Chains A and B, each alone.
Chain A
Amino acid sequence: MAVAETKKMTTLQVQRFIPSENPTNTYLTDEKGVWAWMTTVDHKKIGLMYLASVAFFFALAGFLAIALRTELWTPAKTFIEADTYNQLFTLHGAMMVFFVLIPSIPAALGNFIMPMQLGAKDVAFPRLNLASFYIYVIGAVFTFISLYMNGFDTGWTFYTPYSSDSNSAGVIWVTLGVFILGFSSILTGTNFITTIHKLRAPGITWGRLPLNIWALYATSIIQVLATPVLAITILLLSLENIMDIGIFDPALGGDPVLYQHFFWFYSHPAVYIMIVPGFGIISEVITTFSKKTIFGYWAIALSSLAIAFIGFLVWGHHMFTSGQSAVATTVFSFLTFLVGIPTGIKILNWIATLYRGSIEMKTPMLYVFIFLFLFSIGGFTGIMLGALSVDIHLHDTYYVVAHFHYVMMGGTLIALLAGLHYWWPKMTGKMYNETLGKISAVLIFIGFNMTFLPQFVMGAQGMPRRYYNYIDQFQPFHQTSTIGSYILGFAFLLMLYYLLKSLFSGEKAPSNPWNSRGLEWQSTSPPDFHNFDHTPVVINHPYDYHKPMEEFQLGIAISHNGHSDEHQDEIVSDETEKA
């Protein structure tokens, strides 16, 4: 028996547990049937249900994007009417933000991976976790009801007074949907914070926390603190629509700029809810595929927290042309540059991690490289938009559209794809076709740049966003962009094909196909119902690739603490290691 020192300086008897390559009992075989899935409190199954919902909404909103780009092939009507176009871009934005980007990484991948990285059996409140999922579903139902009620065409920002005097019925339903959805976000955040504080396996001190966990922790704090403001804003908007109470509508004595303050007080931090968990994934993948310790662990961990806090103080940079006070405008511009610094530091830390590494360009790593390139462009153009005088010219043009697609799609979504390909073998127990994976990643890269690079140019030349019709000089840019979007669409269909194929006929995944030191890889693929059939004990930093694998497979056998000893025989008791 080996001896490990944990943070409380108690001495633990640990032994080595090598995950079985042929697990007989996994979370996928443990509870079967539709009802078992729908009522499960297992974080892994809930994570997969979120993943499926996010994929569904992504496909739907992505399809709308293709329709929008097709309509923009010619200046005037190509195949849909102006009102339809206005509803479609609103729906595309609202769905991508509220139903895809916000829940994508924390609720889908985070739910699956976080407890495993902590060596926990589940999140702190498993039933609350399931409730969060159903609240998300109810929010989605309300959005679909609003489509039935004439739809809504306000843009995803619901700016007043337009939103209070156009198609009010649709607006009320969708905003109630977003209101409900917010609770899902708040509860998930609370659940994650509690889990990270209370359910870390012996030896996981704050300094040994995987960076993915730090990122989820920062995200959860923003979710808990910012989302209630969105709820209040939307409630006020609905009260104004239903009861004619003047809050934002100047015709009733309200102030439309106040609405924008409220809205962005949530929606800017929400940008960090979307991107910060992506940072976490990048740290995990880049260390695994360069077999190297992370450069600047604390810089990366603390910059996530710094971004979370400064991110609360920059909302006014969405309103430089709105008529907010001059002092506010100046301060918001200044703080915007400050929030750019920790983000830049992260990028440089990741690049430094590659230095003298052992780099293997598997699909997830390819996505990390794509992320670093695209997200850098998103960051630089963000600096451009933070500069006061230049923003006056660029505000509400396609330049902004291109910028936030580089951040949200080139950043968050590409990070999500990196994470999805990285953890796919763990989640499903199957390998996907590596060649097709790389082809689709390259096609996404080409299609993405072809879609959005021209938008920087036409935006700077003056093409406003949310335009159904446009003046002729912008047509070549729009057409290039449309062709790019078709390439993107094709690349995603290819991905759908090889991922589905891997589910049905993919090669069986080893427990640790990438030789990662991450704790989540020290379980079977797919994992056991309770993740590990022992309590993991951690004695190293999560990215100590210079230490032998044995030191990352330590744990204490579970004996009679609430469970039968049916697993006793699986424990490899003679494989002990000095810790």
Chain B
Amino acid sequence: MGRLFDFMLPENKSPLTADPTDGLFHFINEVSLILLLGITIALIYFAIKYKRKSEDDETPVIYHNHALEITWSVVPLLICLVIFGWGYSGWLNLKAVPADAYEIHVTGFKWNWAVNYENGAQTLNEVHVPKGRPVKIVLQSRDVLHSFFVPDYRVKHDVVPGRYTYVWFQAEETGESQIFCTEYCGTSHSDMLAKVIVHEPEEFETWLEINGGGPSGTPVEQGEALVMQQGCQTCHSIDGSPKLAPSFKGLFGKTEQLDDGSSINVDENYLRESIINPAAKIVNGYNNIMPPYEGLLNDDEVTNIIEYIKTLK
């Protein structure tokens, strides 16, 4: 490689998706640099060479020059058509998911990425993938627009509530790659980060097996796992420290002041309501920012989360 503008791009860790993009990126930069140098040299040269000598300078009358004008219209047009075609084919490649792609579901919500695998394994803000195999990420949003961006793979797609979108890539080396949210989504938009973690294929299978299957353990353990997976701790601390929402520590049994002036005793029913439909009763001093979990968690899961919160005294 070793091209002039290499310093501008992050490492290329998925050549199948990144190579066409990088090639075009370099081509446009190099053509632009040549043209910009031409323009700059012409400007400086003219400014010096044709500097005004006296107020009575006479200048020639040049209205136009057809040959010159046709050249500088047609040549850029041709260059642009090449760039269009090149960009289009690269983009088709980004749209055409290989048939054997491994599918992983990623859900964006304020301000986390929840990841679901075929065998029921779940992770938060970590997308585990096998090396050397095409991976299709199916994207959905639980609240507002987000956008899933992995610079190392040159892939990005908006995550739109109410529809599925996707990206694909094929990581060719083990290690980690940064995921960013690139569609503005509120207070902690810039903290909505995640990582792609690339494993050797066998290692990935092992990882999947260990983490797969349904939930296990006591209701409290399951509740704790759910809290981590669902990203509750983004806004609710478990150690009493202040965050964007009331801390879980010592929450159960407490009397909370609501924003309409009334107060409420935090019992199972209030917690249940606040998970299913958080907007119903907002604690004074906080904003209504939590997405409703109605339909996203079943009754058992809600109960387990409540049991877990009870243990945080």
Residues of chain A having any CB pair with chain B under 8 Å: 82-83, 86, 153-155, 159, 161-162, 165-166, 250-251, 255-257, 290-293, 295-299, 320-323, 326, 329-330, 333-334, 337-338, 340-341, 344-345, 347-348, 351-352, 354-361, 369, 372-373, 376-377, 380-381, 383-384, 386-393, 395-397, 456-457, 460-462, 464-471, 515, 544-546
- Contact (Cβ within 8 A) B84 A348: no
- Contact (Cβ within 8 A) A291 B57: yes
- Contact (Cβ within 8 A) B47 A354: yes
Residue B312, interface by CB 8 Å: no
Which residue in chain B gives the minimum CB-CB distance to A81? Answer: B187
Which 9 A-B pairs have CB atoms at the shortest separation, nearest pair first?
A389-B90, A462-B151, A250-B162, A387-B87, A358-B57, A388-B91, A380-B32, A467-B190, A337-B80
- Rounded to whole Å, the gap between the CB of B80 and the closest CB of chain A is 4
- Contact (Cβ within 8 A) B25 A321: no
Residue B39, interface by CB 8 Å: yes
- Contact (Cβ within 8 A) B87 A159: no
Residue B147, interface by CB 8 Å: yes
Other than the given A86-B189, A161-B144, A250-B161, 14 more pairs (CB < 8 A) read A250-B162, A293-B59, A333-B87, A351-B39, A372-B39, A376-B35, A380-B32, A386-B84, A390-B24, A393-B156, A396-B156, A467-B189, A544-B61, A546-B58
Find B158's partner among A296, A322, A456, A546 (CB 8 Å cutoff): A322
- Given A251-B161, A341-B73, A392 contacting B24 (CB threshold 8 A): no
Some 18 contacts from A to B, beta carbons below 8 A apart, are A154-B184, A292-B62, A295-B63, A295-B64, A298-B64, A322-B158, A323-B163, A326-B95, A344-B76, A383-B83, A391-B87, A464-B180, A464-B181, A466-B189, A469-B191, A471-B193, A515-B55, A544-B61
- Given A250-B161, A390-B25, A161 contacting B188 (CB threshold 8 A): no
- Contact (Cβ within 8 A) B80 A341: yes
- Give chain A residues whose Cβ lies under 8 Å from the Cβ of B157: 321, 323, 392
- Given A369-B43, A469-B191, A333 contacting B8 (CB threshold 8 A): no
- Given A360-B52, A396-B183, A372 contacting B43 (CB threshold 8 A): yes
- Rounded to whole Å, the gap between the CB of A426 and the closest CB of chain B is 19
Residue B94, interface by CB 8 Å: yes
- Give chain A residues whose Cβ lies under 8 Å from the Cβ of B88: 330, 333, 388-389
- Give chain A residues whose Cβ lies under 8 Å from the Cβ of B91: 320, 329, 333, 388-389, 392
- Given A392-B155, A461-B10, A462-B149, A159 contacting B183 (CB threshold 8 A): yes
- Given A165-B144, A392-B94, A466-B184, A345 contacting B191 (CB threshold 8 A): no
- Given A333-B84, A390-B25, A469-B190, A397 contacting B182 (CB threshold 8 A): yes
Find B46's partner among A355, A376, A386, A467 (CB 8 Å cutoff): A355
Find B84's partner among A251, A337, A344 (CB 8 Å cutoff): A337
Q: Which of B143-198 contact A (CB under 8 A)?
A: 143-145, 147, 149, 151-152, 154-158, 160-163, 165, 178, 180-191, 193
Which residue in chain B gives the minimum CB-CB distance to A397? Answer: B182
Measured in the bound complex, the distance between the Cα atoms of B77 and A383 in whole Å is 12
- Contact (Cβ within 8 A) B161 A383: no
Which residue in chain B gives the minimum CB-CB distance to A342? Answer: B73
- Contact (Cβ within 8 A) B163 A383: no
- Contact (Cβ within 8 A) A162 B47: no
- Contact (Cβ within 8 A) B9 A461: yes
- Give chain B residues whose Cβ lies under 8 Å from the Cβ of A82: 187-188, 190
B7, B57, B95, B190, most chain A CB atoms within 10 A:
B190
- Give chain B residues whose Cβ lies under 8 Å from the Cβ of A162: 144-145, 184-186
- Give chain A residues whose Cβ lies under 8 Å from the Cβ of B80: 337-338, 340-341, 383
Measured in the bound complex, the distance between the Cα atoms of B83 and A359 in whole Å is 36
Measured in the bound complex, the distance between the Cα atoms of B51 and A462 in whole Å is 44
Residues of chain B having any CB pair with chain A under 8 Å: 7-10, 20-21, 24-25, 28-29, 32, 35-36, 39-40, 42-43, 46-47, 50-53, 55, 57-65, 68-69, 72-73, 76-77, 80-81, 83-84, 86-91, 93-95, 143-145, 147, 149, 151-152, 154-158, 160-163, 165, 178, 180-191, 193
Measured in the bound complex, the distance between the Cα atoms of B138 and A390 in whole Å is 21
- Contact (Cβ within 8 A) B76 A369: no
Measured in the bound complex, the distance between the Cα atoms of B69 and A345 in whole Å is 8
- Give chain A residues whose Cβ lies under 8 Å from the Cβ of B93: 389
- Contact (Cβ within 8 A) B50 A355: yes
- Rounded to whole Å, the gap between the CB of B65 and the closest CB of chain A is 8
Measured in the bound complex, the distance between the Cα atoms of B77 and A337 in whole Å is 8
- Rounded to whole Å, the gap between the CB of A14 and the closest CB of chain B is 24
- Contact (Cβ within 8 A) B160 A257: yes
- Rounded to whole Å, the gap between the CB of A135 and the closest CB of chain B is 30
- Give chain B residues whose Cβ lies under 8 Å from the Cβ of A155: 184
Measured in the bound complex, the distance between the Cα atoms of B91 and A83 in whole Å is 36
Measured in the bound complex, the distance between the Cα atoms of B60 and A546 in whole Å is 7
- Contact (Cβ within 8 A) A354 B160: no
Which residue in chain A gives the minimum CB-CB distance to B157? Answer: A321
Measured in the bound complex, the distance between the Cα atoms of B232 and A103 in whole Å is 46
- Contact (Cβ within 8 A) A395 B77: no
- Contact (Cβ within 8 A) B69 A296: yes
- Given A290-B59, A355-B50, A299 contacting B69 (CB threshold 8 A): yes
- Give chain B residues whose Cβ lies under 8 Å from the Cβ of A377: 36
- Rounded to whole Å, the gap between the CB of B83 and the closest CB of chain A is 5
- Given A388-B88, A467-B190, A460 contacting B81 (CB threshold 8 A): no
Measured in the bound complex, the distance between the Cα atoms of B43 and A369 in whole Å is 7
- Contact (Cβ within 8 A) B64 A296: yes
- Give chain A residues whose Cβ lies under 8 Å from the Cβ of B180: 462, 464
- Give chain A residues whose Cβ lies under 8 Å from the Cβ of B158: 321-323
- Give chain A residues whose Cβ lies under 8 Å from the Cβ of B77: 341
Find A295's partner among B8, B29, B62 (CB 8 Å cutoff): B62
- Contact (Cβ within 8 A) B151 A461: yes
- Contact (Cβ within 8 A) A323 B165: yes
- Contact (Cβ within 8 A) A337 B145: no
- Contact (Cβ within 8 A) B36 A358: no
Which residue in chain A gives the minimum CB-CB distance to B60? Answer: A356
- Give chain B residues whose Cβ lies under 8 Å from the Cβ of A465: 182
- Rounded to whole Å, the gap between the CB of B184 and the closest CB of chain A is 4
Which residue in chain A gives the minimum CB-CB distance to B64? Answer: A296
- Given A299-B64, A299-B69, A387-B84, A159 contacting B156 (CB threshold 8 A): no
- Rounded to whole Å, the gap between the CB of B302 and the closest CB of chain A is 21
Measured in the bound complex, the distance between the Cα atoms of B94 and A401 in whole Å is 24
Measured in the bound complex, the distance between the Cα atoms of B46 and A390 in whole Å is 35
Measured in the bound complex, the distance between the Cα atoms of B40 and A348 in whole Å is 12
- Give chain A residues whose Cβ lies under 8 Å from the Cβ of B83: 337, 383, 386-387
Which residue in chain B gives the minimum CB-CB distance to A163? Answer: B144
- Contact (Cβ within 8 A) A345 B47: no
Measured in the bound complex, the distance between the Cα atoms of B185 and A464 in whole Å is 12
- Contact (Cβ within 8 A) B8 A460: yes
- Contact (Cβ within 8 A) A256 B50: no
- Give chain B residues whose Cβ lies under 8 Å from the Cβ of A166: 186
- Give chain B residues whose Cβ lies under 8 Å from the Cβ of A395: 147, 156, 182
- Give chain A residues whose Cβ lies under 8 Å from the Cβ of B10: 461-462
- Given A165-B144, A256-B145, A358-B53, A390 contacting B21 (CB threshold 8 A): yes
Measured in the bound complex, the distance between the Cα atoms of B148 and A281 in whole Å is 42
Which residue in chain B gives the minimum CB-CB distance to A251? Answer: B161
Measured in the bound complex, the distance between the Cα atoms of B233 and A545 in whole Å is 72
Which residue in chain A gives the minimum CB-CB distance to B35? Answer: A380
Find B43's partner among A161, A344, A373, A392 (CB 8 Å cutoff): A373
Find A384's partner among B28, B152, B163, B189 (CB 8 Å cutoff): B28
Measured in the bound complex, the distance between the Cα atoms of B89 and A201 in whole Å is 54
- Contact (Cβ within 8 A) A297 B151: no
- Give chain A residues whose Cβ lies under 8 Å from the Cβ of B61: 293, 544, 546
A162, A299, A340, A360, most chain B CB atoms within 10 A:
A162
- Rounded to whole Å, the gap between the CB of B145 and the closest CB of chain A is 6
- Contact (Cβ within 8 A) B187 A256: no
- Contact (Cβ within 8 A) B155 A256: no
